[in-house]
Amino acid sequence: MKKGQVYLLAVIIMGFLIYTMLTPVNFLKTSEIEDDFQEISKNYQLESAKLLNELLNTQNVNQNFVEERFLNFTVAFTSYSKSKNPNFGLVYAFPFNNKVFLGNYADSPLNYSSTDQIVGCLSDVTASISFAGLNISSPNIDVDNYRQCINSTTYPQEDKLILTLDGLEYPFTLTSSSSNLVIINKESIEGNTKIFISE
């Protein structure tokens, strides 16, 4: 081999090595999705059921009292959940006095009949962050600010309630004798959506 051929071969090899080092290799990239979704969902299910039972066991309880207390609790909880997971939204429904009370704190509208809809209020609720007794942001819960997030409807004749969120129907069977709580929790991150439905 001549000296020129050795240089030419060395340049080709070095060029190949540089090309392979600088060329991006196709890697499968997975996005890390928040893993606290189920924990927050179960926490809301447990705490809201406790509150609802407490409200219903109060003497001389009226419809407005239950609606406002539950709204206050849900706004406070949504504020807390946004500090842990800003993409966490929830929808609730529960029967009381021949009506079904509904609330939508998700990022999309909720349909509960062919014509009735509740807008999603997730963006209206501010996050509340506290650390070592220092409260950085606490939501001022004015019931009138969240009236568009809640509604009530007459109790369905066949104990069937169908909630539609993002084009998906969620059928529930209600019991008029007890106030069972229906909850749909939703999280959307980078095109991935998680749904948690209460039992």
- Residues in the chain with pLDDT values less than 50: 34
pLDDT of residue 85: 83
The answer to whether the predicted template modeling score (pTM) of the entire model surpasses 0.75 is no
Residue 102: which of 41, 148, 49, 43 has the closest Cα?
Answer: 148
pLDDT of residue 177: 66
pLDDT of residue 32: 60
pLDDT of residue 15: 92
Residue whose entry in the numeric block shows the structure tokens 């997971």: 85
Residue 131 phi/psi, 5° resolution? -145, 125
Q: Residue 188 to residues 59, 106, 115: CA-CA distances in angstroms?
A: 40, 10, 26
pLDDT of residue 186: 85
pLDDT of residue 14: 92
pLDDT of residue 4: 82
pLDDT of residue 59: 79
